[in-house]
Amino acid sequence: MSGDRLAQEVARCTGAFTRGADPAGRASTHVVTTVLRGLLRAAPHADVLPELREALVDGALSDDQREHLRCWGYRLDPPHGPASSLHTAQAVVALDRAARVLGETAGARAAREDGVRWLLACAERHHHACRDLENLREEVRRPRTDDPARHEVLNVRHFTAAWVVRALLSPGAREVARWDGLDAVRRERLDGAVAAVWAAQSEGIWLWGRSDSTDLRQPMWMTYQGLSALRAHAVWMYQPDRPAPLQ
């Protein structure tokens, strides 16, 4: 779109996305990472970007089940909720993009690297069907603008495996794995996530199963995310400068 139209939309977004105007959104890991990623692309010089990045960093939690590595739950404010591979992957993707656009503070770098290590620390044996890849649903509840005494409820579905693929393919994740000597572990986790993405489609259409019935939905966003994840993996796999494996 034109620069003027884009500037208007950015102003609307940043003006409405404050703690006073949208406390529910500012406390949601999913919402903050979505806005952060969008603004990094649409308005890389926006004043609010460092603030959103620091809110994301400050909202990380320590997981005593995985060596006290920092990760993310569905909320950035207490109560954070349980550690979540979906929200950790979303945070890693957003922080990686922020690092490439804004540069990176020491705190943001440490949090992002911990998030990558947390994703690599899954202890299950079969990474194509582990709990870290389970799809999630969440609700974002916020007061209605026309009647603050009432709330609107936004139901959000998350294709977890596609987000884990994006996180593990990020340049920062590749660097962390290389530094830590975990290239083989990252490849194993990545292969499992890609297999889960592939298994969720039928004839090129991705299917969302409903837990309360046998009906299957075909959301367009899920097919988009599935195709995007597989394309990113295929591009990464095609490295013509890498020697061919021995047959």
Tell me if 1 sits within 8 A of 10, measured CB to CB.
no
Cα dist from 40 to 96, 100, 188, 197, whole Å: 11, 10, 30, 26
pLDDT in tens, the chain (247 residues): 899 999 999 999 999 999 998 999 999 999 999 999 999 999 999 999 999 999 999 999 999 999 999 999 999 999 999 999 999 999 999 999 999 999 999 999 999 999 999 999 999 989 999 999 999 999 988 888 788 888 899 999 999 999 999 999 999 999 999 999 999 999 999 999 999 999 999 999 999 986 555 567 899 999 999 999 999 999 999 876 665 554 4
Query: How far is 126 from 84, CA to CA, in rounded Å?
Result: 18
Query: How far is 182 from 179, CA to CA, in rounded Å?
Result: 8
Q: Is residue 211 classed as helix, strand or coil in its secondary structure? A: coil
pTM: 0.93
Q: Which residues contact 118 (CB under 8 A, 6 or more apart)?
A: 63, 66, 69, 70, 71, 83, 88
